[in-house]
Structures are given as C-alpha cells and as structure tokens.
C-alpha cells in the first residue's frame, strides 16, 4: 500500500503540461498496428493502461518501441494480419484497452485470452461480447461475462448493424474496430453521442467512414497507410489541475496543449456555468483533434444542477466535479450517471462514502449524487478501491480541507497520470507520502 497525503496549500502558479490523452493514445497504437508501414506517435501517455495495450499489440504481431527521444514507433501488420498470441493478454486495469482489443481480435481468425487485475476482472464485458458475437466471434469464460475471457475470432466475419443500448464510446469503438477486417459495411447506431475519437482517427488513417445522423458506417478490409500522430494532453487529466486551481485561493495556472474535443468538454462547460474562470487560448487543430491552452484562476463557485444529457461528455470527471461541488455555494446535483457504478469501482458509492468520511454533506441517489457546500475536515485513510480517479480527486480535496486528507493507495494513479504528485507539487500543492 502506498499511502499519500495532501494538505492545505498556498496558491497554485505556473505553466504546465499534463500527460497525453489516454483515449487517443490507445487508439493511435491500435490504428498504427493495423496500418502498413511505420507510424510515429509523439506525446503518447506512458501510463500502465496504455503500455498494457502496447504490450498486447506486440503479442499480436506489431513491432512497437520507444526511441531515445521519447517518440513511439509502430510497424503495423496491416488489416487481417494479427498473429496468434502465445500467452494471455493481461490488460491490467484498462477497460478501454481490453474492450477495444476484443473488437479488433473478434474478426481475425485467431484465439486470444484476455485477463486483468482484480478490478478489471469484476467489470461487465457482455456489453461488448454480445454485439461482437454477431460478427461470428465466439467467447468463452464464466456465466456473468467477466474476465478472463477467451475470444475465438470469426473465420468469415459478417458485417452487422448494431444500435447501442447504452451510451458507450468503448462499445462503439469495439464494433468499429471489428468492422476493419469485415467485408462490406458495418454500422453502429448511436442515439446518444459519445466521444468521437475513433471516428476522427479512422478518418485520419484513411478508413472509409460515413456519418449520417445517428448512423456510423465503416467500410472494412481496406489497406491503411501509416501516419504520424501527435497526442494532445488529456482533458480528463487536466481536470484535476483545473479544479485544484479553481478551489485554491490566489491560483493562476496555464495548461498547455489540451485536447478540447467537443465530446470531452462537458466538465469545462459545467465548471464555467458554476462561475469558474476558465479561458481557452491558442485554439487549433492537430491530427484531426481540437486543441487549446487553458488558463484557470481561483473562482468563487456556485452549485448547479448538471444536465443529465451532458454525462457522456464528462463521465470520467464526476469524481473531481464532486470536489469542486464541495467548495461551491449551495448544492450541486448530478443525476443520470448510473454508468459510474460499473467503472473501475462503483464511483458513486465510493465518492459518497469518502466525502462523508471527510465531513462533507452528500446525498446518494441510484443514478447519482447531490453534494452540498461543506467544510472538509480531512480523513486518515480514504479507501480508493484501486481507482485512479478517486485517488486523485481526494488528493485535490486535501488542498482546501481543514485537515490533511490521506488516501490508502496512490500507486494506482500511474495507470492514467504518471508523475501526478510531482506535477501538482511543482505548481505549489502539498502532497507527500
């Protein structure tokens, strides 16, 4: 166990860069592996989740390595060229990695076993395996549909048309990736928009893709040519610095090169509606993604009711929004977010319990929570349930709490935000073992 403690700090100041976007990092490795030739990726998130995807793709035949300058090189196998792995693919804690790679493997004539850590092995996979079965893939494992799962890819995959029953970019992307090695046109019907990184990177790599209203059409079995990618900074990671600056008096920070894909900026919109002083500077587009530098200053926040339809664009950011809500006058109501119960942990229950243990007034709902303005009094050991976003959120709370906040295990932070503690402390935070 690697306990970490944060305590009340002075103002946060400085210009910083957070690690690369996790969602785009996973997809850049996968698309590079499916292309013919050598792709180069700069800014790749080197967290455990993404490195696990790189390791799995090596087992599937791609040559992936990092050079002395920090750039990543991918020599792809081409569509249909995946190799039979010689050992189980251990995806650690990465739900994105395992679901996307299941989709990729499902339409290749190989067999692969996917496993992961205790947390990942408790998370639902039927939402992915059910549509992938329609392609002709076969899945074997336990009755509840959790890892470990063995995938026997289809010898002659058939294109499908599938309407998503839940808003999930991971499920959508798994189907789209399965469509890459499927003849004809695969269609995903998405009635509630989710993050569109897969659509953007498919276009960037030259995949024939058409978007007509709610329908996403992918034409399979075309040759993809290698491309160079620059991964922007992860807006989900930036959110911890943004909230930290908003709630710490006198703060003024600039976060460089952050992805501002409209499907990912729900938290930014919410914080601005709460009165947050957040400005987007030097807006531009790189490799098909919208990017900007974000300046954030301390603000007097007010509670709001977050529109439930905004949830898909900020589903990973509700834990850190709870911290902002603690410091906002009035109540902040968050509903329509039951998806949080099947993330790395039951994020609704874990956040509610942790906030209560710090003296925060919070009400749990089946589909969310309501957080009231409170003076946080700290806690000796918040249980994070091996959830990186829970861990970072409570460390941010410690910056404005009356007493230090301690989390039971900070090692899990490395899955998505390597160097989090060092970066926070570099702008004035006080986080220590």
Return the active site residues. Answer: 316
For residues 13 and 217, what is the distance between their CA atoms, to the nearest angstrom? 46
* Bridge pairing between strands 149-152 and 161-163: unpaired
- Decide if 428 contacts 12 (C-beta within 8 A): yes
> Considering only CA atoms, which of 208, 203, 211 is closest in space to residue 219?
208
Residue among 254, 200, 244 at smallest CA distance from 392? 244
Distances (CA, A) of 55 to 26, 33, 204, 316, 415: 11, 12, 24, 25, 14
> Rounded distance, CA 409 to CA 206, Å?
43
User: Do the Cβ atoms of 166 and 199 come closer than 8 Å?
Assistant: no
Structure tokens at 388: 């990186």
Element (H, E) at 53: helix 48-59
Instruction: Yes or no: say if 415 and 19 are a contact pair by the CB < 8 Å rule.
Output: no
- Angle, helix 48-59 to helix 95-106, in steps of 10 degrees: 20
Choose among 366, 368, 374, 267: nearest CA to 325.
374
Residues ≥6 apart with Cβ < 8 Å to 273: 304
What's the angle, vertex CA 119, arms to CA 239 and CA 124, rounded to 5? 95
Rounded CA-CA distance 34/32 in Å is 5
Contact of 91 with 65, CB cutoff 8 Å:
no
Count H helices and E strands in the chain, helices first. Answer: 12, 24
Q: At what angle do helices 266-273 and 318-326 cross, to 10 degrees?
A: 10
Alpha-carbon distances of 122 from 52, 382, 407, rounded to whole Å: 18, 21, 22
Distance of CA 307 to the CA centre of its chain: 21
Half-sphere exposure of 433 (CA within 13 A, CB side): 3
């Amino acid at each position: 166990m690697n306990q970490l403690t944060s305590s009340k700090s002075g103002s946060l100041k400085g210009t910083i860069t957070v690690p690369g976007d996790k969602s785009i990092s996973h997809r850049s490795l996968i698309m590079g592996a499916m292309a013919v030739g050598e792709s180069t990726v700069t800014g790749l998130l080197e967290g455990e989740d993404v490195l696990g995807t790189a390791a799995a793709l090596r087992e599937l035949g791609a040559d992936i390595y990092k050079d002395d300058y920090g750039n990543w090189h991918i020599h792809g196998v081409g569509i249909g060229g995946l190799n039979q792995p010689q050992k189980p693919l251990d995806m650690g804690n990465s739900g994105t990695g395992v679901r996307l790679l299941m989709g990729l493997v499902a339409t290749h004539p190989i067999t692969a076993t996917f496993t992961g850590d205790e947390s990942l092995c408790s998370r639902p996979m039927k939402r992915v395996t059910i549509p992938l079965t329609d392609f002709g893939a076969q899945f074997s494992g336990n009755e509840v549909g959790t890892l470990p799962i063995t995938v026997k890819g289809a010898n002659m995959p058939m294109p499908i048309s599938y309407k998503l029953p839940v808003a999930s970019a991971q499920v959508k992307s798994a189907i789209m990736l399965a469509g890459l090695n499927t003849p004809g046109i695969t269609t995903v019907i998405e009635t509630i928009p989710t993050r569109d990184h897969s659509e953007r990177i498919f276009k960037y790599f030259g995949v024939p893709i058409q978007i007509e209203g709610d329908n996403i059409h992918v034409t399979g079995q075309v040759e993809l040519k290698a491309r160079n990618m620059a991964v922007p900074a992860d807006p989900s990671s930036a959110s911890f610095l943004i909230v930290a600056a908003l709630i710490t008096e006198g703060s003024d920070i600039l976060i460089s090169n952050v992805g501002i894909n409209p499907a990912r900026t729900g938290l930014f919109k919410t914080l601005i509606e709460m009165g947050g002083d957040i400005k987007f500077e030097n807006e531009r587009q790189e490799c098909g993604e919208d990017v900007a530098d974000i300046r954030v200053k301390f603000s007097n926040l007010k509670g709001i009711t977050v529109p439930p339809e905004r949830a898909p664009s900020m589903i990973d950011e509700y834990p850190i929004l709870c911290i902002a809500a603690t410091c906002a006058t009035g109540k902040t109501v968050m509903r329509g977010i039951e998806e949080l119960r099947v993330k790395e942990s039951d994020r609704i229950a874990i956040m509610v319990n942790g906030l209560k243990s710090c003296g925060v007034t919070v009400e749990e709902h089946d589909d969310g929570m309501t957080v009231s303005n409170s003076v946080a009094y700290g806690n000796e050991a918040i249980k994070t349930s091996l959830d990186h976003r829970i861990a970072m959120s409570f460390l941010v709370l410690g910056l404005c709490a009356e007493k230090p906040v301690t989390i039971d295990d900070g090692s899990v932070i490395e899955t998505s935000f390597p160097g989090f503690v060092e970066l926070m402390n570099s702008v004035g935070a006080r986080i220590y073992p």
